[in-house]
């Protein structure tokens, strides 16, 4: 699996978030799988937090990263992201809301 780090922890392929399979399935950080090579190819799958995979659902990996770059550029343009080096979220970060 491409989502195991050097410490043996499961981490998000796209986000790098440490994932906990013991969370409730409604938790935004619950591990969710993604097919890198299309829905019919189970041989090339990765995991990430459920909300990240939901964001990526209809996009290829290349399209996903282009969209992330676009969102960053729009955040800068709207001054929602300050002028500084891009930030990595702290360990244990969690969205305020989960799935109902």
pLDDT at residue 2 is higher than 70: no
pTM over 0.75: yes
pLDDT of res. 35:
83
96: alpha, beta or left, given left = phi > 0 and alpha = psi -120 to 50? Answer: alpha
pLDDT tens readout for residues 45-96: 889 999 999 999 889 899 999 999 999 999 999 999 999 998 999 999 999 9
pLDDT at 62: 94
Evaluated on CA atoms 73, 75, 77, 79, the torsion sign reads negative
pLDDT at 8: 77
Q: What is the pLDDT of residues 24-57, one digit of tens each?
A: 999 999 999 988 777 777 778 889 999 999 999 8
Long-range contacts (CB closer than 8 Å, 24 or more residues apart) made by 93-100: 93/17, 94/28, 94/29, 95/28, 95/29, 95/51, 97/28, 98/24, 98/26, 98/27, 98/28, 99/25, 99/26, 99/27, 99/28, 99/50, 100/26
């Amino acid at each position: 699996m491409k989502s195991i780090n050097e410490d043996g922890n499961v981490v998000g392929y796209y986000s790098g978030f440490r994932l906990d399979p013991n969370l409730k399935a409604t938790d935004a950080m619950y591990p969710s799988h993604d097919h890198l090579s299309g829905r019919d190819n189970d041989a090339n799958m990765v995991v990430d937090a459920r909300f990240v995979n939901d964001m990526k659902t209809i996009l290829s990996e290349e399209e996903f990263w282009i969209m992330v770059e676009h969102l960053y550029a729009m955040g800068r343009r709207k001054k929602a992201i300050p002028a500084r080096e891009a930030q990595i979220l702290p360990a244990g970060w969690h969205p305020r809301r989960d799935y109902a």
